[in-house]
Amino acid sequence: MGAKKNLLLISNSRAYGRDYLDHCAEAVSAFLAGINQVLFIPYALKDWDDYAEKARKRLNGLGVELVSIHEAADHPILAVSSADAIFVGGGNTFRLLEAVHAHGLTHLIRERVSSGMLYMGSSAGSNLACPTICTTNDMPIRHVSTFEALKLVPFQINPHFVDADPNSRHMGETRETRIKEFHEENVTPVIGLREGSWLRVEGDKVSLRGDGGAKIFLRGQEPFELGSGNEFSADLELLKQPEASQ
């Protein structure tokens, strides 16, 4: 990964009983320190105006301006070219990927992130940062010609990861079974990012933050737990454990 790479990849934009981006507000503030204006990508939801308004209010509350790509004076290509930071909001990952491809933004975002443009994503926006969208939880409501995504990180994220409920009588596949099926067909490691968790990517270093923890799935191995504060390399090799557990 590029040495200048700087990402904040959030599992969920809203925690139970809290308002939009409240549970991670401190992390968002710290991430965007020194940035005056963020370019918002609302494509994952249907109503872009409404979504941009919600995101704008929230970021304004943190002292950051927000312009949505669909209302920018510049063409989307120019808007991304000159942005210091982009925020890709959650919603439906298929719809999001289709729009990003259709607007010709895929390679451009990748290049700009390599050159230091900040990338913040939540839920579908975190899926988009991965090699493919193959570990999304979303319904395939739009066909896309490829599942290949931005490849900003070399691992897959499964946002809103949930453990199987031992009391459930529902017989649909558990999330863990679905990720196991993914590994029957693919080799890329998967981070099951629980709600309340996020990843900070700085160059080749990735840290797990927040309070949900994560479950790590490597093909052909038993999945294992990772707690907040752990630091690992982009290929998921553990670099540093949090001080409390050292």
Write down the catalytic residue from 11, 68, 122, 138. Answer: 138
106 binding its own copies? (CB under 8 A)? no
187 binding its own copies? (CB under 8 A)? no
Q: Which helix (H) or strand (E) holds 199?
A: strand 197-202
Nearest distance, CB of residue 165 and its own copies, angstroms: 9
Closest CA to 90 of 185, 156, 160: 160
Structure tokens at 24: 């991670």
220 binding its own copies? (CB under 8 A)? no
Considering only the stretches 27-35, 65-73, 91-99, 210-218, report the one whose residues sit in contact with its own copies under the rule CB under 8 A. Answer: 91-99
149 binding its own copies? (CB under 8 A)? no
Considering only the stretches 68-76, 141-149, 217-225, 235-243, report the one whose residues sit in contact with its own copies under the rule CB under 8 A. Answer: 141-149
Active site annotation includes 138: yes
Considering only the stretches 2-10, 100-108, 175-183, 215-223, report the one whose residues sit in contact with its own copies under the rule CB under 8 A. Answer: 175-183
Closest CA to 183 of 212, 144, 155: 155
Active site annotation includes 160: yes
What residues have CB less than 8 Å from 89, skipping those under 6 apart?
A: 13, 40, 41, 42, 44, 45, 51, 55, 122, 123, 124, 125
141 binding its own copies? (CB under 8 A)? yes
CA distance 73 to 76: 9
CA distance 133 to 94: 8
Q: Which of 49, 65, 111, 181 binds its own copies (CB under 8 A)?
A: 181
| Per-residue contact string for residues 32-71; x = within reach of its own copies by CB under 8 A | --------------x-------------------------
171-to-138, 178, 192, 196 alpha-carbon distances in Å: 19, 13, 21, 26
Tokens 């099951």 sit on residue: 192
Answer positive or negative: Cα dihedral of 83, 85, 90, 93.
positive
- Side by side, the strands of the sheet bearing 118-122 are 65-68, 37-41, 85-88, 118-122, 6-10, 197-202, 205-210, 231-233, 238-240
**Residue closer to its own copies (CB basis): 22 or 231:** 22
Active site annotation includes 29: no
197 binding its own copies? (CB under 8 A)? no
Q: Which of 133, 157, 201, 216 binds its own copies (CB under 8 A)?
A: 133
**Residue numbers annotated as active site:** 123, 138, 160
Contact residues toward its own copies (CB under 8 A) are: 12, 14-17, 46, 91-92, 95, 133-143, 146-147, 159-160, 162, 169-173, 178-179, 181-182, 184-186, 195
